[in-house]
């Protein structure tokens, strides 16, 4: 959600913003190394001016550098972003000469020049320079500003930085980290909602990563100012960064998410189609939307309630006029297979009680809050709200009017906030949508009005400048942990608009108040890809766009893309035309239905690939570069994408186009609908009529799928289909991951993984794990099987009637799942 309606028009027309140039004036560089001390984890460099630089080895490919400048105030070595701190330093070797020091692991050699103090990272095997300082790290003692500069390679390209309204390749860009409420953003608008100060550098097929763990307003200049450097600057805090040696992009993303945390598995229904509007009310309208979806045979799992379900926008309350029986509504929707997610904003209405008013002991969320508001009263009694330097409450303005905000850096405040969601969960609400959490304040979007706010920050009493960017992270943490406590047998589902590094531990991400335009649709691909390689695997955007009317063509193309995007939600602004799938007529509705049914058929593949993201950090939605790192043609390719390792999607993102160019990396590719083979290493122009999105399968893949359904737990995955697409060598691999889809038991081993390997005409299926999915059948489909004359299962030949051959030369074998390893032979 967004600014007040009367500001939307001007916000939509706002020109793209440009980050300020990095200012080196007043910055004093570190002095030369005067002495060095070895520690268990690495080296402490003592500078001539009294500064200290800690170089720590966390893993063979992960080095931490933390500079404490002369005169810099001491602070806790603590970060809200970091999930893992228990690193056991691997073996490393130290050497020194009169001019330099070196620290070498199996993967990287850190070379430190004594005077001036410059740090370079080399490949430990080849000696190749991976990344190196262009000038010494520096700080302004008067203001606390910091800066670091790295050499900028002639063929160096940059990726990541989380949510940016920008193209995939950030080379020559300049970007600011400062969470901002930016409705109607367009390409080039910066900053927007989220701040992730982590990027990946690529040059000549090899990659590295840099995570600057600093939550102040920061600037990245990635060759924008000139050819001299790629620089980082911050308004305050510490110069504290982590270097990821690579050289694999996947390895870097995996290591970064090991450091900052990986996405927990959401409930399976989170992969279902979701419908929202600002706002659906009263309850009868919500039920009419549900009835239309079921009557029209359109798959749907989730309905959303925006701010109008609350009593005058007071969080943790219900408007009894619009929603007289929320528990009954949840029950009736559940009978249709639908769950409800409600919005919760951070602004708590500032409402001192009327003298003599008393909060009721029970059902406080249903009682009138006009004279006394229990959430405000509790928060004030616990002193959970943010205060200013003079001790006064900070009072801003959002939807309830004058509002106060929780200090989520306090553990007791987070626990209180999490417990507050009982008002929703006990009524049957299934998930929480945290919005306006930059935090938005209608009185000031810049932060200038907030500069005197003080956060507890583990007793450090830190300024607002340090914690604006962490506010959403900690609010999401409070919400997630609260849901864990309230519903320990269910996986929490929290979505967020804003965030900072580590947000993937607590919430899935949607890209805020986008526009219903083809330009915005095109921007989705690089934005989702950048978020994915910045640690956030579960992402999506409002379909077909939050602001603006759009039309049927845009709706159809948006759903085609969204078929393979993790978060698939239709949403629209309060004053905009309705965008449910039937609103533009039956032709476009039919296209939406086709692709929603495809999404539900592909749930086994999507869930398996999502579990890979949970386990490894490598996202489901991927730029081609992530899978084809050495292919220069993918360096700035961001109008097509891959889903896992197996599927390549090339959506149409321009109005009126009925064909488009598609790049196919080297190898064998199969057209998804026809099975036709395409030779890779080329660009082809392919047909893309309005009811078709070009979609291809990479040779060497085995892709699981099932039957279509109206909601995710309507029926079991039976039969389970495995499509085998051999590569040029006649081999293929794949897997299927399963669990109960709703509980956290998967964390304790209650899952099943079926691995599949095809080579030399033989397919082996090997199940592992304790989860028992029940009685069911498999359908094994071998593509390009014209020469097969006989099929054996576990060494026994099948009757010809037990398998079928299609016109596209694919062969299908029906097979019962007996829970044991199976082997099929195709002769």
The secondary structure element, H or E, covering residue 259 is helix 249-260
Whether the CB-CB separation of 717 and 604 falls below 8 Å is answered with: yes
Which residues 6+ apart lie within 8 Å of 74 measured at CB? Answer: 68
Catalytic residue from among 133, 221, 457, 513: 513
- Spatial distance between the Cα atoms of 761 and 563, rounded to a whole number of angstroms: 32
Neighbour count for residue 684 (Cβ, 10 Å): 13
Q: Please identify which residue in the block is written with the tokens 């070009």.
A: 694
Paired strand residues for 113: 100, 118
The strand pair at 494-496 and 462-463 is best described as unpaired
Whether the CB-CB separation of 139 and 69 falls below 8 Å is answered with: yes
- Active-site residue flag, 489: no
- Active-site residue flag, 438: yes
Q: Please identify which residue in the block is written with the tokens 């039956």.
A: 586
**CA atoms in the 13 A half-sphere facing the CB of 387:** 12
Q: Please identify which residue in the block is written with the tokens 């890979």.
A: 612
Which residues 6+ apart lie within 8 Å of 396 measured at CB? Answer: 347, 402, 403, 404, 405, 439, 441, 442, 443, 444, 449, 450
Taking CA atoms, 445 is separated from 440, 464, 466, in Å, by: 7, 13, 16
Q: Please identify which residue in the block is written with the tokens 């409450």.
A: 393
**Cα–chain-centroid distance for residue 593?**
26
The full DSSP string for 525-593 is HHHHHHHHTTT--SEE-EEE-SBS---HHHHHHHHHHHTTSSS-EEE--TTS---STTTT-HHHHHHHH
Taking CA atoms, 31 is separated from 68, 161, 735, in Å, by: 12, 30, 54
Taking CA atoms, 823 is separated from 326, 545, 795, in Å, by: 52, 48, 8
Q: Is the Cα dihedral 546, 548, 549, 553 positive or negative?
A: negative
- Spatial distance between the Cα atoms of 36 and 110, rounded to a whole number of angstroms: 14
Encoding tokens for residue 271?
């992969």
- Burial classification of residue 450, based on how many CB atoms lie within 10 Å of its CB (0-12 exposed, 13-18 middle, 19 or more buried): buried
CA angle 235, 239, 242 (to 5 degrees): 130
Encoding tokens for residue 493?
């589902």
Encoding tokens for residue 691?
């009811």
Taking CA atoms, 606 is separated from 343, 427, 527, 675, 805, in Å, by: 26, 30, 20, 20, 27
Which residues 6+ apart lie within 8 Å of 358 measured at CB? Answer: 372
- Burial classification of residue 129, based on how many CB atoms lie within 10 Å of its CB (0-12 exposed, 13-18 middle, 19 or more buried): middle
Catalytic residue from among 438, 441, 481, 639: 438
544: preceding bond cis by omega (within 30 degrees): yes
- Burial classification of residue 711, based on how many CB atoms lie within 10 Å of its CB (0-12 exposed, 13-18 middle, 19 or more buried): buried
134, 138, 143, 145: CA torsion to nearest 10: 50
Whether the CB-CB separation of 119 and 241 falls below 8 Å is answered with: no
- Active-site residue flag, 435: yes
Catalytic residue from among 301, 345, 407, 435: 435
Please count the residues of the chain.
827
Phi, psi of 286 (to 5 degrees): -55, -45
Active-site positions read 435, 438, 513
């Amino acid at each position: 959600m967004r600014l007040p309606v009367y500001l939307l028009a001007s916000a939509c027309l706002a020109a793209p913003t440009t980050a300020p140039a990095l200012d080196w004036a007043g910055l004093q560089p570190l002095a030369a190394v005067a002495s060095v001390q070895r520690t268990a984890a690495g080296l402490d460099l003592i500078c001539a001016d009294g500064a200290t630089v800690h170089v720590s080895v966390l893993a063979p490919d992960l080095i931490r550098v933390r500079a404490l400048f002369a005169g810099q105030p001491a602070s806790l070595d603590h970060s809200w972003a970091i999930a893992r701190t228990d690193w056991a330093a691997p073996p490393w070797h130290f050497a020194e000469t009169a001019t330099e020091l070196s620290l070498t692991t199996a993967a990287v050699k850190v070379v430190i020049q004594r005077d001036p103090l410059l740090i370079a990272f080399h490949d430990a095997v080849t000696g190749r320079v991976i990344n190196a300082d262009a000038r010494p790290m520096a700080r302004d003692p008067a203001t606390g500003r910091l800066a670091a500069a790295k050499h900028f390679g002639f063929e160096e390209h940059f990726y990541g930085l989380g949510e940016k309204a920008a193209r995939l390749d950030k080379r020559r860009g300049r970007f600011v980290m400062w969470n901002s409420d930016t409705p109607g953003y367009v390409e080039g608008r910066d900053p927007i909602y989220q701040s992730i100060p982590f990027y990946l550098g690529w040059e000549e097929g090899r990659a590295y990563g840099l995570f600057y763990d600093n939550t102040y307003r920061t600037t990245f200049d990635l060759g924008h100012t000139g050819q001299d450097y790629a620089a980082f600057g911050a308004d305050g805090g510490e110069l504290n960064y982590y270097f990821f040696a690579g050289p694999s992009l996947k390895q870097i993303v995996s290591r970064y998410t090991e450091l900052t945390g990986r996405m927990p598995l959401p409930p399976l229904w989170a992969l279902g189609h979701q419908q929202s509007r600002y706002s659906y009310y009263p309850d009868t309208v919500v039920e009419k939307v549900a009835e239309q979806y079921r009557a029209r045979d359109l798959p749907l799992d989730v309905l959303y309630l925006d701010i109008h379900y609350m009593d005058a926008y007071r969080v943790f309350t219900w408007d009894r006029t619009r929603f007289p029986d929320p528990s009954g509504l949840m029950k009736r929707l559940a009978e249709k297979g639908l769950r409800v997610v409600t919005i919760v904003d951070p602004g708590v209405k500032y409402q001192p009680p009327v003298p003599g008013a008393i909060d009721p002991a029970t059902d406080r969320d249903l009682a009138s809050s006009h004279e006394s508001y229990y959430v405000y009263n509790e928060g004030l009694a616990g002193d959970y709200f943010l205060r200013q330097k003079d001790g006064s409450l900070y009072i801003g303005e959002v939807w309830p009017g004058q509002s106060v905000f929780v200090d989520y850096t306090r553990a007791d405040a987070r626990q209180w906030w999490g417990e507050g969601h009982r008002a929703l969960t006990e009524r049957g609400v299934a998930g929480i949508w945290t919005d306006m959490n930059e935090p938005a304040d209608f009185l000031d979007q810049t932060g200038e009005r907030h500069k005197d706010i003080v956060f507890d920050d583990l007793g450090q009493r830190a300024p607002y400048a340090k914690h604006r960017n962490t506010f959403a992270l900690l609010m999401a943490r409070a919400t997630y942990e609260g849901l864990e406590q309230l519903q320990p047998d269910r996986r929490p589902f929290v979505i967020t608009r804003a965030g900072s590094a580590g947000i993937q531990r607590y919430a899935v991400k949607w890209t805020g108040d986008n526009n219903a335009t083809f330009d915005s649709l095109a921007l989705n691909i690089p934005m989702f890809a950048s978020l994915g390689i910045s640690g956030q695997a579960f992402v999506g955007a409002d379909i077909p766009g939050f602001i603006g009317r759009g039309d049927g063509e845009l709706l159809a193309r948006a759903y085609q893309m969204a078929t393979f995007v993790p978060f698939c939600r239709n949403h629209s602004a309060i004053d905009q035309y309705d965008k449910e799938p039937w609103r533009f007529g039956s032709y476009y509705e039919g296209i939406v239905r086709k692709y929603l049914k495809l999404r539900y058929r592909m749930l086994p593949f999507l869930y398996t690939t999502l579990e890979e993201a949970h386990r490894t950090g490598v996202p489901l939605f991927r730029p081609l570069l992530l899978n084809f790192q050495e292919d220069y043609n993918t360096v700035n390719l961001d109008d097509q994408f891959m889903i896992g390792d197996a599927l390549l999607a090339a959506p149409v993102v321009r109005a009126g186009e009925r064909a488009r160019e598609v790049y196919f990396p080297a190898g064998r590719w199969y057209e998804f609908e026809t099975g036709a083979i395409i030779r890779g290493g080329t660009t082809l122009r392919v047909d893309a009529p309005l009811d078709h999105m070009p979609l291809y399968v990479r040779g060497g893949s085995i892709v699981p799928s099932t039957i279509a359904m109206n909601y995710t737990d309507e029926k079991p995955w039976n039969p389970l289909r495995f499509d085998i697409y051999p590569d040029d060598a006649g081999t293929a691999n794949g897997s299927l991951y399963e669990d109960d889809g709703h509980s956290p038991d998967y964390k304790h081993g209650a899952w099943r993984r079926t691995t599949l390997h095809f080579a030399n005409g033989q397919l082996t299926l090997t199940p592992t794990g304790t989860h028992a999915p029940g009685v069911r059948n498999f359908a094994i489909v071998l593509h390009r099987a014209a020469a097969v004359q006989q099929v054996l299962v576990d060494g026994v030949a099948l009757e010809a009637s037990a398998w079928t051959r299609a016109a596209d030369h694919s062969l299908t074998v029906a097979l019962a799942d007996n829970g044991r390893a199976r082997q099929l032979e195709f002769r």
